[in-house]
Amino acid sequence: MGTVIACAGKGGVGKTTVSALIIRQLIRAGDTPILAVDADPNSNLGETLGLDVTATIGDIREDFMRDPQSVPSGMDKTIYLESLVEQSLIEHENFDLLVMGRQEGQGCYCMVNNILNSFTERLAESYRHMVVDNEAGMEHLSRRTSGRVDMLYLITDYSLRGLRALARINEMLPGLKLTVKECGIIVTRAPEELSDAFSAEVEQIGLPIVATIPHDPTLLDFDMEKRSLLELPDTSASVVAIEQLMSAPLSA
């Protein structure tokens, strides 16, 4: 597996936008191919990348659990499920998108999850980078990246509530089967200067702020026009911030 880059934070702080901007920057740098993984049940990453999502891993899992006998006669269950995952992969010129979708319903999903997790890990080996837009709870991340994350970006907007959500995520990391090589905070919709109160909360968390993204009206314009963030101009404030963040090459 190549480099694993993950974004996490509470809903509404811009982690999906940051994930899309990271993918944009990797593409511009020619650092491809990329596997984009939407591990947030809200599943908005495809939309920000200008892609239509027609199937998710969650759909595959639930359909199979409802009718385990749906496997074609003579076909192994593992091969059948893996073929469905391959069909759900949305291919793009420079990256592919895998959408995890809804969470598990009632019942024992161990067998299905083991198959899906194993196949996802093998799939990721074909890519130079895997970029994961993760839910705040981190469950998907701990299960589907072989327990390794090279760079974890904790995303918050300019609010103490967002920061405190990051503090909780950071506190739960040691309890997960997850090895995080590097971890840093990205602040979205940030003012030119951070307040003393905000900086004091960051200091308590004990992680560095690796990037601040100012309010960027272009993002709102693109959202209203339903345009892919991959098409953002190089002069966009958010693009410039992510370009600076990733100016040092990531080690695979």
- Cα(33)–Cα(127) distance, integer angstroms: 5
- Count the Cβ atoms, other than its own, within 10 Å of residue 161: 10
Looking at residue 25, its pLDDT comes to 96
- 3-state secondary structure (DSSP) of residue 37: strand
- Count the Cβ atoms, other than its own, within 10 Å of residue 120: 22
- Cα(100)–Cα(103) distance, integer angstroms: 8
* CB of 34 closer than 8 Å to CB of 127: yes
What is the residue extent of each domain of the chain? 3-245
R_g of the chain, CA atoms, integer Å? 18
Looking at residue 2, its pLDDT comes to 81
DSSP state of 52: -
Looking at residue 252, its pLDDT comes to 41
Would the pTM of this model clear 0.85, i.e. be above it?
Answer: yes
Looking at residue 251, its pLDDT comes to 46
- 3-state secondary structure (DSSP) of residue 79: helix
Structure tokens at 22: 């990271």
Q: How far is CA 31 from CA 28, 94, 95, 128, 185, in A?
A: 8, 9, 10, 7, 23
Paired residues of 183 in beta bridges: 152
- 3-state secondary structure (DSSP) of residue 178: coil
- Cα(156)–Cα(12) distance, integer angstroms: 9
pLDDT (tens digit, 0 to 9) for every residue of the chain, 252 residues total? 688 999 998 888 999 999 999 999 999 999 999 999 988 777 789 999 999 888 888 888 888 888 888 888 888 888 888 888 888 889 998 999 988 876 655 555 566 666 767 777 788 888 999 999 987 666 656 555 557 889 999 999 999 999 999 999 898 888 877 888 999 999 999 999 999 999 999 999 999 999 999 999 999 999 999 999 999 999 999 999 999 999 865 444
* CB of 239 closer than 8 Å to CB of 24: yes
Beta strand 148-157 with 3-8: parallel, antiparallel or unpaired?
parallel
Domain 3-245 grouped into CATH 3.40.50.300: yes
- 3-state secondary structure (DSSP) of residue 195: coil
Paired residues of 132 in beta bridges: 6, 37
- 3-state secondary structure (DSSP) of residue 174: helix
* CB of 178 closer than 8 Å to CB of 199: no
Residues for the chain: how many in total? 252
